[in-house]
Amino acid sequence: MKKILIFLSVFIGLVMPVCAKNVMPTHVSSIGANTLGVYQAGKEMTLYDEPRVGANIVAHISWNGDDIFPENKDFANIFIVYLPKKDLALLAVVDETEDWVKVLYDNENGLSGWMKKDDPYKFMSWISFFNIYGRKYGLYMLKDTPKEIKDLHSSPEDDSQVVSHLNLPPTNASLPHQIKLNVMRGNWALVSVLDMDRMPKTGYIRWRSNDGLKYLFPAIK
């Protein structure tokens, strides 16, 4: 028995650091409201204070799998999505030009810098991002989402009829079953779900407030 306990302790110690590298938004506050979308980061990132080569460098960050440089950097403070097994690292974008994106590289302190695009298709507006990843993986609801956001409406308007309500488990922000994304309509999404009531439900739900706060996010796996 003692040998088994020792083995489990070593196993957990090896596995936990790897698992800790995965980053996905959990709370409404996880994503800045004043953001335009996401940019898929390359493994070498040089950020400037202005959108031109030769401007002052404000940060240089590199990553590969579970490793990041500088080593004192926190994956969760840089990326809004970081899934090393999928080789996927997404930064929040606060501004954009034809050749440059201004991204947050310190979410906690709101620090940002300009990065030259190495591929124009790596920038996705929030609508494009949800249409691509939300349709593929479905959606989940972020913690601290206001109760009224869980109402399903007959049309994408605040004063439209409430046709149903998402019944979520009290200790978990995500639904027990995937929220299927059907259509995006501005700040609204037409979704279908089989929740704790075990009844199929379809209706419009706000995925974003008028001020830019996100309530739903693609459940990338």
- pLDDT (tens digit, 9 = 90+) per residue, 169-200? 654 444 345 799 999 999 999 999 987 777 88
Q: Is the pLDDT of residue 12 over 60?
A: no
Percent of the chain with pLDDT over 70: 86
Lowest mean pLDDT among 32-46, 119-133, 144-158, 159-173: 159-173
Candidates 134, 124, 143; CA nearest to 35 is 124
CA dihedral sign of residues 89, 95, 97, 102: negative
**CA separation for the pair 19, 37 (Å, rounded):** 26
Candidates 191, 187, 184, 133; CA nearest to 166 is 191
Section 21-35 average pLDDT: 92
CA dihedral sign of residues 220, 124, 191, 212: positive
Average pLDDT across the chain, whole number: 87
**Domain residue extents for the chain:** 2-118, 128-218
Choose between 14 and 133: higher pLDDT.
133
Q: Where are the beta strands (DSSP E) in 13-55?
A: 37-40, 44-48
Q: Is the pLDDT of residue 67 over 80?
A: yes
Local structure of residue 130 (DSSP, 8 states)? I
CA dihedral sign of residues 75, 96, 47, 40: positive
Candidates 81, 85, 84, 4; CA nearest to 37 is 81
pLDDT band, residue 168 (cuts 50/70/90): low
Cis ω before 70 (30° cut-off from 0): yes
